[in-house]
């Protein structure tokens, strides 16, 4: 689950950088990248998608994915796991939420228990989440990667032309 949540955050950064016209035509450089990425958050990304007239991408994929009830549920479960560390599965032994297994003066000591998870239901939910994530992420890739990317050839002249175009910037580094 941590990988999915990391990928969701990174997907926002990919779109953010793709839509950052301040970077267009400039030499890729850490300083520029970090300056841009610092401003990236969900609401700012939605705003940037609006300005770029990427309404379908904004509403159907980015917002639609995060507003999906299953995605909300899985992210809530992830946050619980992140802060609490574990869930209870029936094959892991006792999870008595009422009290410890002994009493003193006929009084029991309360025990913190873990939230129970039905493994079969959880498995199905994670598989369904994975399918939603694949659809979401595939659309982001389709947006930022040119359609003819796999047909593009790259000869020896291109790096030289690129160097010549950015020679002054490179010399200043």
Per-residue DSSP letters for 99-149? --S-EETTEEPP---PPB--HHHHHHHHHHHHHHHHHHHHHHHHHHS-TTG
First to last CA, the chain: 39
User: Is residue 95 situated within a structural domain?
Assistant: no
Question: Among candidates 65, 46, 116, 111, which has minimal Cα distance to 88?
Answer: 116
User: Is residue 44 situated within a structural domain?
Assistant: yes
pTM over 0.85: no
Domains identified in the chain, total number: 1
Question: How many CB atoms sit inside 10 A of residue 54's CB?
Answer: 18
Q: What is d(CA 62, CA 46) in angstroms, rounded to the nearest whole number?
A: 8
User: Is residue 168 situated within a structural domain?
Assistant: yes
User: Is residue 25 situated within a structural domain?
Assistant: yes
For the segment 79-94, what is each residue's pLDDT rounded down to a tens digit?
888 887 788 777 777 6
For the segment 39-91, what is each residue's pLDDT rounded down to a tens digit?
999 999 999 999 999 999 999 999 999 999 999 999 998 888 888 778 877 77
Return the SS3 of 86: coil
User: Is residue 97 situated within a structural domain?
Assistant: no
Domain residues for the domain of 75 are: 2-88+135-172
Please say if the pLDDT value at position 100 is more than 80.
Answer: no
């Amino acid at each position: 689950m941590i990988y999915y949540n990391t990928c969701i955050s990174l997907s926002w950064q990919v779109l953010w950088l793709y839509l950052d016209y301040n970077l267009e035509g400039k030499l890729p450089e850490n300083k520029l990248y970090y300056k841009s990425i610092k401003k990236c958050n969900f609401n700012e990304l939605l705003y940037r998608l609006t300005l770029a007239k990427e309404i379908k991408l904004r509403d159907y994929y980015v917002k639609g994915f995060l507003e999906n009830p299953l995605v909300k549920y899985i992210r809530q479960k992830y946050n619980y796991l992140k802060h609490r560390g574990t869930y209870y599965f029936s094959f892991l032994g006792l999870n008595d939420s009422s009290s410890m297994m002994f009493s003193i003066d006929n009084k029991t000591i309360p025990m913190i228990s873990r939230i129970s998870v039905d493994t079969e239901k959880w498995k199905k939910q994670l598989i369904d989440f994975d399918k939603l994530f694949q659809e979401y992420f595939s659309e982001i890739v389709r947006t930022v990667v040119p359609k003819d990317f796999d047909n593009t050839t790259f000869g020896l002249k291109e790096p030289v032309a690129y160097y010549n175009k950015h020679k002054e910037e490179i010399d200043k580094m």
